[in-house]
């Protein structure tokens, strides 16, 4: 008997039902006895920052591949049968049909997808750096100006020195609430 490795496969679903299909698959792991062959089920989503008409920030999840799930599995007959017969699954990508098992996704491709979605949070690209003059766009210090004293890219928060009651006061402000002032 041939020993198979776990590999990533692309499962086709009805668009908009990816998370529901993921939940169905996770429930079937134990009930159908394939927990030893199905390891990770992934909906490739990343968060996006949006602002409503009032300027309030909202985080929204955006599916990078609508209609697709990524599953890490050992392609046994049982696991293949359970996945393709899960409600909401319309098939595997890379299968020619007629009972032919699908081809796995190239590791380089899945690594790129994993890198893209494993980010801790949405990245806000900023046009300022330490020492720059900035304007605060919202919050209690709205419209005030200050100088960026330090930046934390992990939390995406800048420490800004603002003049408050005649004194320089350090204040932590989210990157997306700051705008560089061109002098």
What single string gives the DSSP state of each residue in 39-87? EEEE--EEEEEEE-TT--EEEEEEESSTTEEEEEE---HHHHHHHHTST
Distance, CA of 173 to CA of 179 (rounded, Å): 11
The whole-angstrom separation of Cα 18 and Cα 117 is 16
Return the H-helix or E-strand segment holding 180.
strand 178-180
The three-state secondary structure class of 2 is coil
Q: How far is CA 98 from CA 25, 76, 95, 101, in A?
A: 23, 17, 9, 9
> Cβ(2)–Cβ(47) under 8 Å?
no
Domains along the chain with CATH numbers: 7-117 (3.30.70.940), 133-180 (2.30.30.30)
Q: Which regions in the chain score pLDDT beneath 50? A: 1-2, 119-120
Give tens-digit pLDDT for 33-57: 888 899 899 998 877 777 777 777 7
pLDDT of residue 29: 85
pTM across the whole model: 0.60
């Amino acid at each position: 008997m041939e020993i198979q490795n776990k590999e990533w496969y692309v499962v086709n679903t009805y668009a908009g039902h990816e998370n529901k299909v993921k939940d169905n698959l996770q429930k079937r792991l134990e009930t159908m006895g394939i927990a030893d062959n199905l390891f990770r089920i992934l909906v490739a989503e990343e968060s996006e920052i949006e602002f409503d008409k009032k300027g309030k920030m909202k985080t929204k999840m955006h599916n990078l591949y609508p209609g697709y799930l990524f599953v890490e599995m050992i392609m046994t007959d049982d696991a293949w049968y359970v996945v393709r017969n899960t409600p909401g699954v319309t098939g595997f990508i890379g299968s020619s049909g007629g009972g032919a098992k699908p081809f796995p996704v190239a590791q380089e491709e899945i690594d790129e997808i994993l890198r893209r979605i494993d980010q801790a949070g949405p990245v806000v690209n900023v046009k300022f750096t330490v020492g720059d003059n900035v304007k605060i766009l919202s919050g209690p210090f709205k419209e005030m100006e200050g100088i960026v004293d330090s930046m934390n890219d992990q939390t995406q928060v800048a420490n800004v020195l603002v003049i408050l009651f005649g004194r320089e006061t350090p204040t932590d402000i989210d990157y997306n609430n700051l705008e560089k002032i061109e002098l």
